[in-house]
């Protein structure tokens, strides 16, 4: 263990409130510039409109920042919250936290959801949400001790920069012999030197006797954390039972929790087997359907994909219970024991790796042309350890590799590194350079949007071509699904509030495979309902996986099988049982609508949130290069002739690409029209006065923002 010192800078004692129906009714605010710690009340109106979790985060952040606030301004806040149901041990997937801040990648609001014990422990310690503002030149650790009812700020020296060791040290330091009582939020050296830093949230694995972690990965939140001078935030809490949330009706809660848990236990082994193999089952499925991104999203399939699929990881994962929250029966957070990295500071040392999940396998594997599971595991380990988002690292490196192979950049620019697809050592070296803040890795760490500027300005690369192949929108790198053949999923990415992350809408199979939504109106309806329902999980402290990754056996007989309504009804019962506020499936959607529209308007406040910001690169829509088109020529030719009535006789590949692009881009614009209409927005993608009034978010500042943008009642 490292030699380190911790000195108390500030201690704030408080009386922990009794939790009432899932709420503590207060939030904790810490300004680390001057060490001011305070408590703000949660009003009934705040609960009615924002519900909790991401809703509370957004409200706190909205009040902390101005429209001109940059990610590294002291006033930027990092907000963390669980939700009214967060911390329930009898219902699967009830330990999530949501983190929001102004993102270094997008310049606007980012939200990222994460497992681990922190959110529930924060709430049980007395706070529905945490808001941290300010900046300090010292390294500080914030300690929220719900057992001894005090919040402390420590200055520290000598603590390691990497999350892997830091989490272990701080868990032991604060545990007082009970490490399960501790959850640590931290980042690593990579977050200081890139724009794609993540946060690691720990949960203590009693069987393996170690701190495990999950990531709030997207949007560079770790960079904001590091820039503020925060080394870690630690929460301490004791025993958790169903009563800890003091639910309005414990009997109904237990009953509905028992039903859903039982179903997961019975059906997951028959269906996706996530309790055994996590999300790795998606690799072969995506590959079979031509949806697995390879070589920077050029193709959706690769002959070697099975080398990084579920059957390989089934053998590699360490068997055992892997629930990132207590009592979760899905328990999908698997890991690799006794892994020995071949590179970097842990070279030759046995480590435990949390993951990989599908996104990491596709992002740091297939999309880089890497089909070696051990390289992917090593990338996973170092990204976590350095505090880096594996999705942005993967998608950004893939872009750099394609630019390298196309000759847009060369070894002069990469400092001698051969960035060809499939170069495993180069991919690992990029990650190490990100952590050290040096070399070409640091440029890749600035993200796709910045790389496009740098490559064009400094290296003379073609900006239009890079715009087409650079897989970012709103400044955020795409997560790892191919969207070329699913218009609905193009919307799922392009119309997502924070940028192209699949947690708002994952409609590929419903659209492309099952053909549930053949018309624009049906696609628009899906791009209304699914983002709203998925948003709801983030308001309440819940994981979405138990909703539709385990499907009731009679689901196929239900009127709307895609929505898995039996589970939606259970969630309505769950919400009612905890909060005492009776609701229905439609009520859940209404809750989300208010927060969703508020976040869209928050984007407007930050200078985004209009139609032009929902554009996506053409690589997400169709084939950019001749090799892409020709690899699926039969498909594209057929579509041109049968779907678009085009005469392609005698046309070259390049001419057919132009034709297809015209058709597909027109469809995407029509999709925008239909979705905006369904969501109650103007044709420029801004919520109308009628919409914000209906949802109860017609605050004076909101109406003024709308007015400034030409939207009036």
Partner 1 sequence: MIKINGKEHFWYEGMTIKDLLKNLNNSHLYAMVRINEKHISMPYFEKPLVPDNSEVFLIPMIAGG
Positions touching partner 1 (CB under 8 A) are 270-272, 281-282, 284-286, 288-289, 310, 479, 481, 502-503, 506, 508-510, 513-514, 545, 547-549, 551, 553, 555-557, 561-562, 564
State the minimum distance, in angstroms, from the CB of residue 533 to partner 1. 12
CB atoms within 10 A of CB 554: 9
Nearer to partner 1, 15 or 634 (CB): 634
Beta strands in 463-544 (DSSP E): 472-473, 476-477
Cα distances from 386 to residues 354, 361, 439, 694, in angstroms, run 13, 18, 16, 45
Name the nearest CA neighbour of 444 among 421, 405, 481, 477. 477
Are 500 and 472 in contact by the 8 Å Cβ rule? The answer is: yes
Name the nearest CA neighbour of 528 among 651, 674, 635. 674
CB atoms within 10 A of CB 637: 17
Enter the tokens of residue 310. Answer: 């579920």
Name the nearest CA neighbour of 92 among 229, 232, 268, 250. 268
Enter the tokens of residue 154. Answer: 């420590």
Helix residue spans in 15-117 (DSSP H) = 44-50, 54-64
Nearer to partner 1, 84 or 561 (CB): 561
Nearer to partner 1, 183 or 310 (CB): 310
Enter the tokens of residue 349. Answer: 């040392």
State the minimum distance, in angstroms, from the CB of residue 551 to partner 1. 5
State how far the Cα of 331 lies from the Cα of 324, in Å rounded to an integer: 7
Beta carbons within 8 Å of 175's beta carbon, 6+ residues apart: 181, 182, 236
Name the nearest CA neighbour of 233 among 125, 85, 84, 76. 125
Nearer to partner 1, 446 or 483 (CB): 483
Nearer to partner 1, 530 or 681 (CB): 530
- β-partners of residue 215 are 200
State the minimum distance, in angstroms, from the CB of residue 400 to partner 1. 24
State how far the Cα of 300 lies from the Cα of 589, in Å rounded to an integer: 33
State how far the Cα of 552 lies from the Cα of 564, in Å rounded to an integer: 8
State the minimum distance, in angstroms, from the CB of residue 288 to partner 1. 4
Rounded-to-10 torsion of CA 437, 439, 443, 444: -90
State the minimum distance, in angstroms, from the CB of residue 97 to partner 1. 19
Beta strands in 158-298 (DSSP E): 182-186, 199-205, 210-216, 230-236
State how far the Cα of 509 lies from the Cα of 523, in Å rounded to an integer: 13
Nearer to partner 1, 44 or 557 (CB): 557
State the minimum distance, in angstroms, from the CB of residue 266 to partner 1. 10
Cα-trace Rg, the chain: 24
State the minimum distance, in angstroms, from the CB of residue 382 to partner 1. 24
Nearer to partner 1, 102 or 564 (CB): 564
Are 247 and 578 in contact by the 8 Å Cβ rule? The answer is: yes
689: alpha, beta or left? (left if phi > 0; alpha if psi -120 to 50): alpha
Enter the tokens of residue 324. Answer: 């990132």
Nearer to partner 1, 144 or 545 (CB): 545
State the minimum distance, in angstroms, from the CB of residue 562 to partner 1. 5
Nearer to partner 1, 490 or 691 (CB): 490
512-516 long-range contacts (CB < 8 A, ≥24 apart) are 512/289, 512/485, 512/486, 513/289, 514/562, 516/562
- β-partners of residue 11 are 152
State the minimum distance, in angstroms, from the CB of residue 561 to partner 1. 6
Nearer to partner 1, 170 or 286 (CB): 286
State the minimum distance, in angstroms, from the CB of residue 231 to partner 1. 32
State the minimum distance, in angstroms, from the CB of residue 640 to partner 1. 22
State how far the Cα of 237 lies from the Cα of 204, in Å rounded to an integer: 12
Nearer to partner 1, 272 or 385 (CB): 272
Nearer to partner 1, 70 or 262 (CB): 262
Nearer to partner 1, 143 or 530 (CB): 530
State how far the Cα of 590 lies from the Cα of 646, in Å rounded to an integer: 43
State how far the Cα of 505 lies from the Cα of 542, in Å rounded to an integer: 16
State the minimum distance, in angstroms, from the CB of residue 526 to partner 1. 12
Name the nearest CA neighbour of 264 among 549, 574, 571. 549
Nearer to partner 1, 210 or 528 (CB): 528
State the minimum distance, in angstroms, from the CB of residue 484 to partner 1. 16
State the minimum distance, in angstroms, from the CB of residue 506 to partner 1. 4
Nearer to partner 1, 247 or 293 (CB): 293
State the minimum distance, in angstroms, from the CB of residue 311 to partner 1. 8
Residue that the structure tokens 């945490």 belong to: 130
Type and span of the H or E element at 139: strand 139-145
Enter the tokens of residue 400. Answer: 């750099």
State the minimum distance, in angstroms, from the CB of residue 255 to partner 1. 25
State the minimum distance, in angstroms, from the CB of residue 549 to partner 1. 5
Nearer to partner 1, 182 or 277 (CB): 277
CB atoms within 10 A of CB 34: 8
State how far the Cα of 129 lies from the Cα of 40, in Å rounded to an integer: 10
Nearer to partner 1, 453 or 513 (CB): 513
State how far the Cα of 562 lies from the Cα of 63, in Å rounded to an integer: 37
Type and span of the H or E element at 337: strand 335-339
């Amino acid at each position: 263990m490292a030699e380190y010192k911790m000195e108390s800078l500030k201690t704030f004692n408080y009386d922990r409130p009794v939790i009432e129906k899932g709420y503590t009714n207060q939030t904790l605010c810490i300004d680390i510039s001057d060490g001011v710690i305070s408590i703000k009340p949660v009003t009934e109106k705040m609960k009615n409109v924002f519900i909790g979790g991401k809703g509370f985060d957004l409200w706190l952040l909205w009040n902390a920042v101005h429209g001109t606030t940059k990610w590294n301004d002291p006033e930027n806040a990092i907000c963390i919250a669980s939700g009214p149901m967060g911390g329930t041990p009898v219902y699967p997937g009830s330990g999530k936290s949501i983190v929001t801040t102004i993102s270094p990648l997008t310049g606007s609001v980012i939200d990222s959801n994460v497992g681990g014990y922190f959110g529930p422990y924060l709430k049980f310690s007395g706070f529905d949400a945490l808001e941290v503002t300010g900046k300090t030149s010292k390294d500080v650790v914030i300690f929220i001790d719900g057992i001894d009812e005090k919040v402390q700020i420590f200055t520290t020296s000598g603590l390691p920069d990497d999350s892997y060791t830091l989490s272990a040290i701080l868990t032991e330091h604060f545990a007082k012999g009970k490490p399960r009582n501790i959850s640590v939020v931290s980042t690593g050296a990579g977050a200081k030197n890139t724009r794609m830093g993540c946060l690691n949230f720990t949960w203590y694995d009693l069987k393996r006797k170690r701190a495990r972690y999950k990531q709030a990965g997207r949007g560079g939140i770790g960079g904001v954390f590091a820039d503020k001078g925060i080394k870690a935030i630690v929460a301490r809490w004791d025993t958790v039972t169903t009563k800890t949330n003091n639910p309005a009706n414990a009997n109904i809660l237990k009953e509905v929790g028992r039903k859903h848990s039982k179903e997961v236990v019975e059906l997951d082994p028959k269906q996706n087997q996530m309790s055994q193999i996590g999300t790795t089952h998606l690799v072969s499925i995506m590959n079979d359907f031509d949806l697995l991104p390879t070589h920077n999203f050029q193709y959706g399939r690769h002959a070697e994909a099975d080398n990084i699929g579920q059957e390989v990881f089934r053998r590699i994962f360490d068997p055992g219970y892997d629930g990132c929250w207590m009592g979760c029966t899905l328990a999908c957070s698997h890991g690799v024991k006794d892994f020995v990295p071949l590179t970097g500071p842990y070279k030759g040392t046995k480590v435990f790796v949390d993951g990989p999940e599908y996104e990491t396998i596709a992002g740091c594997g297939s999309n880089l042309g890497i089909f070696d599971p051990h390289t992917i595991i090593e990338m996973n380990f170092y990204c976590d350890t350095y505090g880096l988002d594996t999705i942005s690292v993967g998608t950004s490196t893939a872009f750099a590799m394609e630019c390298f192979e196309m000759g847009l950049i060369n070894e002069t620019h990469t400092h001698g590194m051969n960035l060809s697809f499939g170069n495993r050592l180069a991919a690992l070296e990029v990650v190490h350079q990100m952590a050290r803040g040096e070399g070409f890795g640091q440029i890749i760490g600035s993200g796709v949007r910045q790389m496009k500027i740098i490559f064009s300005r400094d290296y003379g690369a073609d900006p239009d071509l890079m715009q087409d192949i650079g897989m970012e929108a709103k400044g955020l790198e795409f997560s790892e699904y191919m969207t070329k053949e699913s218009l609905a999923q193009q919307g799922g990415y392009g119309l997502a509030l924070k940028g192209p992350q699949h947690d708002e809408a994952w409609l590929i199979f419903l659209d492309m495979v099952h053909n549930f939504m053949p018309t624009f109106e049906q696609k628009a309806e899906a791009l209304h309902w699914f983002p709203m329902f998925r948003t709801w999980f983030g308001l309440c402290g819940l994981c979405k996986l138990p909703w539709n990754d385990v499907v009731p056996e009679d689901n196929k007989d239900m009127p709307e099988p895609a929505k898995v309504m039996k589970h939606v009804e259970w969630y309505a019962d769950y919400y009612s049982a905890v909060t005492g506020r009776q609701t229905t499936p439609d009520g859940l959607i209404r809750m989300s609508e208010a927060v969703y529209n508020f976040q869209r308007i928050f984007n407007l406040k930050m200078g985004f949130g209009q139609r032009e910001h929902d554009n996506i690169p053409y690589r997400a829509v169709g084939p950019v290069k001749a090799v892409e088109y020709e690899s699926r020529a039969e498909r594209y030719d057929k579509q041109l002739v049968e779907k678009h009535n085009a005469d392609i006789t005698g046309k070259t590949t390049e001419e057919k690409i132009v034709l297809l692009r015209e058709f597909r881009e027109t469809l995407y614009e029509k999709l925008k029209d239909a979705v905006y209409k369904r969501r109650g927005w103007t044709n420029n993608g801004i919520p109308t006065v009628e919409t914000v009034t209906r949802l109860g978010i017609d605050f004076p500042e909101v109406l003024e923002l709308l007015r400034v943008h030409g939207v009036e009642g």
